[in-house]
């Protein structure tokens, strides 16, 4: 007994050393929030305190809607308290029912918003290059109950909207785009938010552009904007008129002001992310078994994520082992999007959730790690991550 205790104690020394070593290493997170300078924000707060108008389409709410329309190159935008409520409301405003075609390769909120509306999600596999909804597989999933298609611009890479819209036109379906990752992304000189009936954005703290919590619906005509605005405010269309069973999904002044200020810093942040992505690509192309996504032709990217794909047979280490190795070194990558939404208890019983229906998405979910990518990474951080992957 005594002897065993001694052995245990001595065997602790080396792991302890390793732990101490790790503690010394700076933690690198997958992202870091875009936070405007406090002094500037305080002057905005000061103004809000004076105005005493804290929510319900206040001064900063109106200013941010205007500024975002201009910055993003879109006609109408309605701010929301988060992206999930924006998506739930987008489905409501178009009175979507029955079945909706959706990608499983996304954050859970995409499918949850469909489910919360009492609609059946029908999963369709993704394209192997972009990991966005594969237009070639959509038609086979359409039934008499299908009313809409919900593509996601995953990682900010545009889905094939031209083909998706053609299919929607033929079958008389709506297109509601989850553009939560696609703030400021353009294709052929145009905002990708101008596709589809509606697009939703998320301004969550983990997103490239943030209002801490927040989101928006982008639409293309004024009437639709009014209907969205009624719905996000309990359905009120006037002081005493309630036109629909709306919800409370309004953005408050404190967050709108934060967002307005962040618009001053977003271009520099995207530029910094771009520089990191360039360095990752240059270094990772030398590592057998690691692949990544290239920029798409004609697309202005926002570099919101940097997914890599681990081919275990070639790389000599599984995705999960690499993920753990990074974690042990205090480098926190994320396995976005794993597990696949279609494998969660709520959805796994659906016919469309069978892995045989979703081979591309299933493989991607099992091989992906998103590397740290944000505006505060310095050269030393990036080289440390690259060296970890090389070892």
State the nearest-atom distance from the C-beta of 104 to ligand PLP, in Å.
Answer: 12
CB of 374 to ligand PLP, least distance (A): 16
User: CA-CA distances (angstroms) from residue 274 to 36, 230, 300, 328?
Assistant: 20, 38, 11, 27
Give me the least distance between CB of 256 and ligand PLP, in Å please.
15
* Rounded Cα gap, residues 131 and 122, in angstroms: 17
Looking at the Cβ atoms of 90 and 308, the one nearer to ligand PLP is 90
Q: Secondary structure of 159-227 in the HEC alphabet? A: CCHHHHHHHHHHHCCEEEEECCCCCCCEECCEEHHHCCCEEEEECCCCCCCCCCCCEEEEECCHHHHHH
Minimum distance from CB of 202 to ligand PLP (Å)?
3
Q: At what angle do helices 266-284 and 379-390 cross, to 10 degrees?
A: 30
- Judged by CB, which is closer to ligand PLP: 149, or 382? 149
All residues at 6 or more sequence positions from 377 whose CB lies less than 8 Å from its CB, including other chains: 28, 272, 276
Tell me whether residue 81 or residue 187 sits nearer to ligand PLP (CB atom).
Answer: 81
Angle between helices 253-262 and 59-72 (to 10 degrees): 30
Would you say 204 or 232 has its CB closer to ligand PLP? Answer: 204
Q: Report the SS3 class of residue 231.
A: helix
Instruction: Using the minimum distance from each CB to ligand PLP, give the nearer residue, 323 or 336.
Output: 336
**In this complex, which beta carbon is closest to ligand PLP, that of residue 84 or of residue 147?**
84
Which residue, judged by CB position, is nearest to ligand PLP in the bound state? Answer: 83
> Any bridge partners for residue 78, and if so which?
217
Residues at the interface with ligand PLP (CB under 6 A): 82-84, 106-107, 109-110, 152, 178, 180-181, 202, 204, 215
Cα separation, 328 vs 279, in Å, equals: 23
Nearer to ligand PLP, 175 or 180 (CB): 180
Please report how close the Cβ of residue 285 comes to ligand PLP at its closest, in angstroms: 27
Q: How far is the CB of 311 from ligand PLP (least distance, A)?
A: 25
Q: Which is nearest to 111 in space by CA: 345, 365, 370, 382? A: 345
Residue 102 near residue 124, CB atoms below 8 Å: yes
Complex with ligand PLP: residue 113 or 142, whichever CB lies closer: 113
Which tokens hold the place of 155? 């990682």
Residue 92 half-sphere exposure toward CB, CA atoms < 13 A: 24
Contact 312, 304 (CB under 8 A): no
Q: How far is the CB of 24 from ligand PLP (least distance, A)?
A: 33
Nearer to ligand PLP, 260 or 284 (CB): 260
Beta carbon of residue 178, minimum distance to ligand PLP (angstroms, whole number): 5
List, as one string, the DSSP characters of 41-79: HHHHHHHHHHHT--SSS-HHHHHHHHHHHHHHT-SEEEE
Q: How far is the CB of 180 from ligand PLP (least distance, A)?
A: 3
The phi, psi pair for 76, rounded to 5°, reads -135, 140
């Amino acid at each position: 007994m005594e002897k065993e205790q001694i052995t245990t104690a001595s065997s602790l020394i080396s792991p302890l050393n390793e732990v101490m070593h790790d503690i010394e290493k700076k933690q690198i997170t997958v992202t870091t929030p875009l936070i405007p300078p406090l002094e500037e924000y305080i002057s905005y707060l000061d103004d809000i305190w004076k105005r005493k108008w804290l929510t319900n389409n206040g001064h900063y709410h109106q200013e941010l809607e205007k500024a975002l329309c201009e910055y993003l190159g879109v006609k109408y935008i309605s701010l929301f308290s988060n992206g999930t409520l924006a998506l739930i409301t987008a489905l409501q405003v178009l009175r979507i029912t029955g079945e909706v075609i959706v990608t499983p390769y996304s954050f859970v909120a995409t499918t949850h918003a469909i489910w919360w509306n009492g609609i059946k999600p029908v999963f369709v596999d993704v394209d192997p290059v972009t990991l966005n909804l594969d237009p070639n597989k959509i038609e086979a999933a359409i039934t008499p109950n299908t009313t809409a298609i919900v593509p996601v611009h995953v990682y900010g890479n545009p889905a094939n909207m031209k083909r998706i819209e053609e299919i929607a036109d033929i079958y008389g379906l709506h297109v509601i785009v989850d553009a939560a990752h696609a703030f400021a992304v353009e294709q052929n000189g145009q905002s990708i938010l101008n596709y589809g009936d509606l697009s939703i954005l998320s301004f969550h703290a983990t997103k490239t552009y943030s209002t801490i919590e927040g989101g928006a619906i982008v639409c293309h005509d004024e009437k639709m904007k009014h209907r969205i605005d009624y719905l996000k405010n309990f359905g009120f269309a006037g002081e005493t008129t309630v036109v629909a069973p709306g919800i409370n999904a309004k953005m408050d002044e404190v967050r709108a002001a934060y967002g307005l200020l962040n618009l001053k810093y977003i271009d520099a942040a995207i530029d910094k992310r771009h520089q990191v992505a360039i360095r990752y690509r240059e270094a990772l192309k030398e590592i057998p078994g690691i692949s990544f996504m290239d920029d798409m032709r004609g697309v202005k990217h926002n570099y919101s994520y940097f997914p890599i794909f681990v081919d275990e047979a070639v790389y000599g280490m599984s995705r999960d082992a690499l993920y753990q190795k990074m974690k042990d070194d205090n480098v926190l990558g994320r396995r976005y999007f794993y597990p696949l939404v279609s494998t969660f208890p709520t959805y796994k019983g659906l016919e469309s959730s069978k892995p045989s229906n979703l081979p591309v998405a299933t493989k991607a979910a099992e091989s992906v790690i998103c590397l740290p990518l944000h505006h505060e990474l310095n050269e030393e951080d990036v080289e440390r991550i690259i060296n970890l992957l090389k070892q």
